[in-house]
Amino acid sequence: MPLPDDDWSVLMRSALGGDARAYARLLREVTPVLRGIVSARGRNLARDRQEDIVQEVLMAIHRKRHTWQPDLPVRPWLYTIARHKVIDAFRARVGAISLPIEDFENALVADDPPDGLAARDVAGLIGQLDRRSAQIVRAVGLEDEATASVGLRLGMSEGAVRVALHRAMRRLSVLAQGTKP
C-alpha cells in the first residue's frame, strides 16, 4: 500500500540528505503507483514497453531528484515525470513503424544498376554472333522472352531455339575469353 504523499515527501527529503535506505524505500513505494500511471496512460503500448517506461521514469527520478522542491508534495512531481516519459514513448513510436519484412520481400529486391561498360561489352560480343544467334541471345537471355515465342517468331521449334541459344552462349564464352573457337 503506497504511503501518503506527506510520507513520500519525508522520504525524499531524507534521500536528498544522503539517506540511502529512505531513498530505496521511496523507490519501492512509488514503483507500483508509477506502473499504474504508465499502464493507464500507455494502455496502447505493449506490456514490456510499459515496463521499460517505468524503468525510464525511475531513472529520470534518480537523475532529476535535485529538481524536486522540498516544500512541495512529491506526487505531482512524480506524475509529471511519468506523463512525460509516456509521451516520449508515443513520440518515438510514431517514427518507428514495424511491418513484417515478408510482406515486402519481393518488392524490396532491387536490380543492380546497369553498368554502362558491361552493357557495351556484351553488345560488342553479341554483335560478333550471326544474326539469328544474336536475336535468340537478346530475346531469351536479355529480354527473358520464352523460347516458344522466340521459336514462333523465327520459324524454329522450341527445342531448336534452346540448342541455338546453348551454342550461342558457348560461342560468347569463347569470345569473352579472347580465344579462337
pLDDT of res. 31: 94
DSSP 17: T
Q: What is the 3-state secondary structure (H, E, C) of 65-94?
A: HHHCCCCCCHHHHHHHHHHHHHHHHHHHHH
Q: Which three cell numbers stand for residue 139?
A: 530475346
Fold of 116-177: Arc Repressor Mutant, subunit A (1.10.10)
pLDDT of res. 92: 78
Fold of 5-95: Rna Polymerase Sigma Factor; Chain: A (1.10.1740)
Compute CA distances 17 → 10, 69, 78, 167, whole Å. Answer: 11, 13, 19, 90
The alpha carbon of residue 175 and the mean position of all alpha carbons in its chain are separated, in whole angstroms, by: 45
Residues 24, 16 contacting (CB under 8 angstroms): no
pLDDT lower than 50: segments of the chain = 1-2
Angle between helices 147-154 and 158-177 (to 10 degrees): 100
pLDDT of res. 119: 72
Fold matches, 5-95 and 116-177: no
Q: Nearest-CA neighbor of 142 among 125, 157, 154, 130?
A: 125
Residues 133, 168 contacting (CB under 8 angstroms): yes
DSSP 102: G
pLDDT of res. 44: 83
pLDDT of res. 142: 84
pLDDT of res. 109: 57
Q: For the chain, give every domain's residue range.
A: 5-95, 116-177
pLDDT of res. 100: 66
